[in-house]
Amino acid sequence: MKTLKNYERWLHSNKVDPLTKAKIKHMSQAEIDDAFFKNVEFGTAGMRGVLGPGTNRLNEFTVKKATVAFALYLIQFFPNAKQEGVVISHDNRHMSREFTLLCAQIFNDFGIKTYIFDSLRPTPQLSFAVRYLKAAGGIMITASHNPKQYNGYKIYDETGCQFVPEKIARLLHILEILPNELDVTYPIADVRGENIILDEEIDDEYVRLVKNIAINRDLDKRKFKIVFTPNHGASYENAMRIFEESGYKVFPVSSQVDPDPDFSGTLSPNPEDARAYIEPIKLAKEIDGDLIVMTDPDGDRVGVGFKNRHGEYETLNGNQSGALLMDYIFSQKKKKGLLSADGVMYNTVVTSALGKKIATHYGLKTEQFLTGFKYIGNRIDYYEKIGEGPTFEFGYEESYGCLIAPFARDKDGCQAILMYSEMALYYYLKGVTLDEAWDQLCQRFGYYQDVTYSLEFAGSEGQQTMEALMDTLHKEPFITISDLPVVAVDDYLSGVHRTLKKESPLGIEKADVVKLHLSDGSVVIVRPSGTEPKIKFYIGVVHKQKPLDNRVPDGLFNSLKVTLNL
């Protein structure tokens, strides 16, 4: 009923133009259902959805309502918001620039100053710019690594960190009391805010800070060749400056350099997708490259490929690349006396257990959070404000994102590509390929194998299926998967660790996530995606010997699907 009501409201509104109404009339029933069955929501990384007409879509109306709510939020909670202003940036996607200008106009109408860049810039630079300019907040228009039909809307607080649930709750309350997205209005301030186009000062300072994180900057780079692609996204200019000013020999994938919203030079802009590496590997073979690094379209995630010991090209997943980089950084800092005695490494509950083992080896603490880099950024700020606590040394997620130096408060692809390059060069000069370095790491800490799977559930029916699936796992989690009984459960929705005999608190924020501990030590984590209509399954296994393929995690996943009737 709600779907039909929303559909009719759009179809008969005088605020919806005739061309858009024609598109609505030609939608299939499945398209109508998916576009109108709910309002587009704020998830783990802001508001993200398919572009187009509808309440569950990214369009000028849904973006306008979110921006009006954000403006009201800032005025309510920040007395000097109008003077401090908001920084807005965007990636290469369809409507990204238009949404940026729309947001700036709305803030200016409220009397709030805005800062925008002259063109696209990466997400971590937006986070940095909020901090550098001491702004009241920020917006990044991006759908990150999603397919081309998506766009999104990430909001940042005054610390340069994405909103944590407590702040999102305040914003959602304001959203709920506003009229619907077609009817929302607002008064225009007597004195409109100024819209300032940022100059190269922000770029220069950001690049300078990134270059300064290098540990072994004098390594011989003359024979080392790097292939780089920004996947048509926002990191190209900064990344190329960092490479060249740091002395690296870099070969960009020319067909993927332009900020093309259709991603015409790649089959996927997602570093988690093997298809993203087709063109970079092709170029690496032509030039006999040693390392491949790529950023996703908004420049916060990094994928890594390399020439292995057999002269063939392969890739690392986010858990592997993060663990290798962490071990390199910690070992080199320790050698130079730069590793903090009270250091801490941050990761998430879905990240491999290998990270904690490495951190412990170097005398560092580990703190884990729910999925979303906002929790890591928020904890950095918390310790900074109280003036005591552990010193940040590294933060990462399994989803190909990490932060080395906290001048930004989000995962930073430019920082990552610089340090992945230094790490790979360091091993290259020792005659060690990255697959050999990974084997050496596993020989020290164990053969950790972590694989992520996803199942999509589109439309209102898919939403109901996801909710029913998660409800089952919360209520009846002690199942058997591939002949292995579940012996303990971390239920993040109720906030408890459960065995068949007792319960104890988890001591972490609540979320719709279930972690199943199997009798052989393997773990299975299940959570709905916060950015797409899908459920993600994270399977972690520790082997005594090097696994040759994904047979074990594949078997666990297939068994889980059978058990849950998926």
Return the active site residues: 144
| Burial class of 308 by CB neighbour count within 10 A (0 to 12, 13 to 18, 19+) | middle
Q: List the structure tokens of 77.
A: 């909670």
Distances in whole angstroms, Cα of residue 18 to Cα of each of 9, 21, 394, 494: 14, 5, 52, 48
State the DSSP string of 305-346. Answer: EEE-TTS-EEEE-HHHHHHHHHHHHHHHHHHTT-S-TTEEEE
Q: Facing residues of 88 across strands? A: 116, 139
d(CA 86, CA 104): 8
CA distance to 43, 180, 469, 552, per residue, from 68 (Å): 18, 12, 35, 49
Quote the DSSP letter at residue 15: T
The β-bridge partners of 484 are: 481
CA distances in angstroms from 195 to 54, 117, 155, 214, listed in the order given: 29, 10, 18, 35
Question: Do 290 and 432 form a contact (C-beta atoms < 8 A)?
Answer: no
Amino acid letter at 25?
K
Q: How many Cβ atoms are within 10 Å of 64's Cβ, its own excluded? A: 20
d(CA 302, CA 99): 26
Alpha carbons within 13 A on the beta-carbon side of 557: 20
**Quick check: helix, strand or coil at residue 403?**
strand
Distance CA 35, CA 50 (A): 9
Residues 6+ apart with CB under 8 A from 166: none
In the DSSP assignment, the letter for residue 275 is G
